[in-house]
Amino acid sequence: MKASELKKGDKVTLNNGFTAELRNNLKGNTRDAIVYGYATDYGTIYIWDIASPAIELTPAQEKSKKIVRSAGF
């Protein structure tokens, strides 16, 4: 599944085991989400932190992921 196919209101599971509900339909590297973890929080998540459903990254997103990871995030 491509990241652009995820819609507002979709429930996803993150790599850290928390669940999240997407709050926008934007395309790109980040999505607004309500994250249900130790506490409920609203913020931005990277699309490559979504574990389920599995996301296919574009070459540009792979490049961005490497840059962000090298910065320590």
From first to last of its 73 residues, the chain has per-residue pLDDT tens of 898 899 999 999 999 999 999 999 988 899 999 999 999 999 999 999 999 999 999 999 999 999 999 998 8
So what's the pLDDT on residue 56?
93
Query: What pLDDT shows up at residue 4?
Result: 87
Laid out side by side, the sheet with 40-46 consists of: 40-46, 30-36, 19-22, 11-14, 50-52
Of 45, 43, 35, which is closest to residue 3 (Cα–Cα)? 45
pTM, 2 dp: 0.89
Q: Which domains does the chain have, with CATH numbers?
A: 3-70 (2.30.30)
